[in-house]
Amino acid sequence: MEETNGGFQTLVYEDDLHKEEYPPYHQSNRIQVSMFTMSPGRRHRLAAVCLALLAAVLLILNIGLGIHYNKLTDSHLSLDDTERISKELVDLQDTYKTAVETMKDARKQLDSEMSRQTQTNWELEHQTKRSNDYKSQIEKVTKEIETMKTRLSMLSDGCKHCPAGWILMNSVCYYFPLKSNEFKTWKESRDFCQLQEEIL
């Protein structure tokens, strides 16, 4: 070895020491390097121990991975389960779409029925009003007919109801004097009515 200016030593091959650039090979310049040497039997045993340790580590890793894989397969679904669930999901979506379409059709039918019901209710109210109007008219006409029947009977029997010279109007007998000498005072008229058993 040769020391350089930087304090480092440079390794020199032994054959190069005989060259001119290096001084003669002296015992004082030699540094003894010890190398670790091992017998072949010990090397085989060391390799066997290393391989055994490596095999033990691999075995532990395999066992750990196996346990982890079992946990994964237990906690996760298999491919068949996933396909079955996907099929059920598609079936549920189809059922939902069918239900929505059925509901839309039912709502349309309900709206149509409600529209028809509204029209029917309007017609019923209109007919009821007309019927009530007809009933009122019938009652009015019936009363008028009864009044006319009464008047007709009085007119036909007018002479029997009113004295001669009196006029029957609305079921009441009236006297209208035709001559001025037949006029009477109110007291005289009242006395005359009392004699006839009538009221003035």
List pLDDT tens digits, range 175-199: 777 777 777 788 888 887 788 777 7
Q: Which class for 132: exposed (0-12), middle (13-18), buried (19 or more C-beta within 10 A)?
A: exposed
Instruction: Kindly tell me if the per-residue pLDDT of 134 is higher than 70.
Output: yes
Q: List CB contacts of 12: < 8 A, sequence separation 6 or more.
A: 1, 2, 22
Comparing 10 with 89, the larger pLDDT belongs to 89
Q: Is the pLDDT of residue 127 over 90?
A: yes
Predicted confidence at residue 126, as pLDDT, reads 92
Q: Tell me: the pLDDT tens digits for 140-169? A: 999 988 888 877 766 665 556 677 777 777
Residue 171 · residue 151 · CB < 8 Å: yes
Taking 80 as the threshold, does the pLDDT of residue 52 lie above it? Answer: yes
Averaged confidence pLDDT in the chain: 75
What confidence category does residue 76 fall into, taking pLDDT thresholds of 50, 70 and 90? low
Q: Is the pLDDT of residue 137 over 90?
A: yes
Report whether pLDDT(51) > 70: yes
Q: Are 168 and 158 in contact (CB under 8 A)?
A: yes
- Cα–Cα distances (Å) from 101 to 92, 93, 105, 149, in that order, read 14, 12, 6, 70
pLDDT of residue 104 exceeding 80: yes
Above 90 in pLDDT, residue 131?
yes
Q: Please, are residues 170 and 162 in contact by the beta-carbon 8 Å criterion?
A: no
10 has pLDDT over 70? no
Distances (CA, A) of 109 to 23, 100, 105, 114, 191: 119, 14, 6, 8, 84
Please report which confidence band the pLDDT of residue 42 belongs to, taking 50, 70 and 90 as the band edges: confident
* Candidate from 17-21, 56-60, 63-67, 145-149 with smallest mean pLDDT: 17-21
